[in-house]
């Protein structure tokens, strides 16, 4: 929490920390915060397939991909996933600049 709050790109007294450090993903294996030159990033490592679906929907990934994961959830459930997103405030609006995901055994 302290690392994410020391951002040079987001004033978390104005924008709630839950807008970036999503409660739905906090029970993952590891959370990593990267303070970068032009933005910051948060990575949630070791999430399950249900949390992956939450992430994909929240980040507006293509419907075909979300449907694939939903339809094959039972076959994908043995994997763990890592997801991440880059963010900063532009004007007074929190912007998610990019996101990524991958699965592992």
| Consecutive H or E run containing 60 | none
Q: What is the average pLDDT value for the chain, to the nearest integer?
A: 93
Sequence spans of domains, the chain: 2-104
pLDDT at 2 over 90: no
Q: How confident is the model at residue 69 (pLDDT cuts 50, 70, 90)?
A: very high
Model pLDDT, residue 105: 67
Model pLDDT, residue 44: 98
103 DSSP 8-state letter: E
Q: How far apart are CA 84 and CA 58, in angstroms?
A: 12
Model pLDDT, residue 4: 85
- Of the candidates 20, 21, 23, 81, the residue with the CA atom closest to the CA atom of residue 53: 81
Q: How far apart are CA 91 and CA 66, in angstroms?
A: 31
């Amino acid at each position: 929490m302290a690392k994410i709050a020391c951002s040079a790109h987001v004033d978390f007294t104005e924008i709630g920390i839950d807008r970036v450090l999503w409660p739905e993903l906090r029970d993952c294996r590891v959370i990593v915060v990267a303070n970068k030159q032009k933005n910051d990033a948060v990575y949630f490592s070791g999430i399950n397939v249900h949390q992956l679906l939450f992430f994909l929907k929240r980040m507006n990934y293509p419907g075909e991909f979300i449907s694939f994961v939903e339809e094959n959830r039972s076959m994908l459930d043995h994997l763990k996933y890592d997801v991440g997103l880059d963010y900063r405030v532009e004007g007074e609006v929190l912007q998610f600049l990019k996101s990524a995901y991958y699965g592992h055994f």
